Structure 1
Amino acid sequence: MRKREWGDRLRQVEKLAHSYQQSPLSSQYQPRLARPSQPSPVWHLFHRQSPALVFAQTCKEDVHVFALEREGGGCMGQRIYLVTSYTELWHYYRTYRRSLMHCYEVIPEGAVCKLYFDLEFQRAWNPGLNGETMVARLIQYVCKKLHEAYGLKCSSSDVLNLDSSTEDKFSRHLIFQLPNATFRDNSHVGRFIHAILTPVKNSNHPEGSSTTCTSEGIDPLTAMEYIPNTDRGMLGSPQPKRQKHGEDDLSFLSVKNKEGQIQLFVDLGVYTKNRNFRLYKSSKLGKNAALVVAEDNQFIPKPDRHLTMEENIFQASLISNVSYTGQRILTWDASELGNPKGPRPEGSSRAHASPDCVGGYQYSPYREVDDFVLTLVCKDNIKGSIRQWNYFVSEQLLVYDILHYRWCYNVGRFHKSNNIMILVDLREEVWYQKCYDPECRRQNYRSSNYPLPEDICISHLLKEDEDQLYLVDDEGNIELSQRPCPEASPEGGKPESSGQVGDSAGWGDWAEDDPCYLEALEEVERSSEEVSDELLLMAADDWENSS
Structure 2
Amino acid sequence: MNNSIIPARFYGHSLTPLFNERAKKVQEAKKHIRYSDPWDINPRARPLTSPSPYKQEFWKQNEALANAAELSEYDDILCCFVFQDENERRRFIVTYPEDFWTDCERMPLEKRVFYEVIPELSPCFLYYDLEFEVDLNPDKDGVRMAQTLIHVTCEYIAYHWKCSCDRRAVINLDSSRPGKFSKHLIFSTSDFAFSNNYHVGYLVKMICSDLVDYVSRESAQHDVLSKFSKESLEELFIETNKGKKLFVDLNVYTKNRHFRVYKATKWGKHSHLQQAPECQYSWPKKPKSKEMEIFLNSLVSYMPRKKKLQLLSFDQDKKSKILSYSQHTEMKQNYAPKEYAKSPYPVLDKYISELIKPGKVRDSKFFEIRQLIIYEIVGFRYCENIGRWHKSNNVYYIVDIVNKTMYQKCHDEDCAGFISDPKRLPVEVTFYFEDECDPLFLDLNDYNAKD
TM-score relative to the length of structure 2? 0.62
Identify the residue that residue 278 of structure 2 maps to in structure 1.
Answer: 296
Please say if residues 311 and 323 of structure 2, whose CA atoms lie closer than 8 Å, have aligned partners that are also in contact.
no
Asked if 1:49 corresponds to 2:49, the answer is no
Match for 2:140 among 106, 109, 129? Answer: 129
CA contact (8 A) 1:117 1:174 kept: yes
Secondary structure of 2:176's match? coil
2:239 to 246, 253, 256: 256
The code of the aligned residue for 2:195 comes to R
In the alignment, structure 1 residue 150 sits paired with structure 2 residue 165: no
Q: Which residue of 1 aligns with 2:412?
A: none
Paired residue type of 2:236: L
Q: CA deviation at 1:62?
A: 3.0
Change in CA separation of 1:263 and 1:276 when aligned onto 2, cut-off 3 Å: same
Aligned to 2:96: 85
Which 10-residue stretch deviates more, 103-112 or 47-56?
47-56
Map of 2:444 onto structure 1:
none
2:284 partner SS: coil
Q: How does 1:478-497 map to 2 (within 5 A)?
A: none
What are the ranges of 5 or more consecutive residues in structure 2 without an aligned counterpart?
1-7, 31-42, 337-378, 398-405, 409-424, 429-451
**Cα distance in structure 1, aligned partners of 2:133 and 2:391:** 29
Q: In structure 2, what is the Cα distance between the partners aligned to 1:303 and 1:331?
A: 32
Q: How many pairs does the alignment contain?
A: 328
Is contact 2:382–2:395 with CA below 8 Å preserved after alignment? no
Shift of 1:390: 5.4
Structure 2 CA distance, aligned partners of 1:314 and 1:334? 31
Q: Alpha-carbon deviation of 1:243?
A: 6.6
- Structure 2 residue aligned with 1:399: 329
What is the identity, as a one-letter code, of the residue corresponding to 1:313?
Answer: I
Identity of matched residues, %: 27
Q: Is the 8 A contact 1:200 1:254 kept in 2?
A: no
1:466 corresponds to: none
From the superposition, tell whether residues 50 and 263 of structure 1 become closer, same or farther in structure 2 (CA, over 3 Å). same
Distance 2:380 2:153 in 1: 38
The one-letter code sitting in structure 2 at the alignment partner of 1:46 is F
Residue 39 to residue 330, structure 1, CA distance change in 2 (3 Å): same
Structure 2 residue 86 is matched with structure 1 residue 65: no
Instruction: Measure, in 2, the Cα distance between the counterparts of 1:400 and 1:178.
Output: 23
- AA aligned opposite 1:116: Y
Show the counterpart of 2:25. 28
After TM superposition, list the pairs within 5 Å mapping 1:135-534 onto structure 2. 135-202=146-213, 242=223, 249=230, 250-259=233-242, 261-303=243-285, 307-322=288-303, 323-335=305-317, 337=319, 399-400=329-330, 519-520=381-382
- Name the CA distance, whole Å, in 1 between partners of 2:54 and 2:15: 35
> Structure 1: how far apart are the matches of 2:224 and 2:199?
23
Matches within 5 A, 1:533-544: none
SS in 1 for 2:92: strand
Secondary structure at the aligned position of 1:271 is classed as coil
2:101 alignment partner, SS class: helix
Report the Cα distance in structure 1 between the residues aligned to 2:277 and 2:224, rounded to whole angstroms: 35
Relative contact order higher in (CA < 8 Å, ≥ 6 apart): 1
Contact 1:304 1:312 in 2 (8 A): no
TM-superposed deviation, 1:304? 6.3
Change in Cα spacing, 1:519 to 1:68, as seen in structure 2 (3 Å) is farther
Distance in 1 separating the partners of 2:198 and 2:70: 25
Change (3 A) 1:398 1:35: farther
Aligned partner letter, 1:146: I
Per the TM alignment, residue 37 of structure 1 is displaced from its structure 2 partner at its CA by 3.0
**What is the distance in 1 between the residues matched to 2:181 and 2:45?**
37
Structure 2 Cα separation of the partners of residues 147 and 336 of structure 1: 15
Amino acid at match of 2:96: S
TM-score (norm 1): 0.52
The amino acid of 1:279's aligned partner reads: V
**d(CA) in 2 for partners of 1:327, 1:172:** 26
State whether residues 274 and 526 of structure 1, in contact with CA within 8 Å, keep that contact through their aligned partners in structure 2.
Answer: no
Measure the CA separation in 2 of the matches of 1:99 and 1:69.
12
> In structure 1, how many angstroms separate the alpha carbons of the residues matched to 2:292 and 2:312?
27
Deviation at 1:151, TM superposition (A): 1.4
Q: Is the 8 A contact 1:114 1:182 kept in 2?
A: yes
Task: Look up the equivalent residue of 1:320 and give its one-letter code.
Answer: S
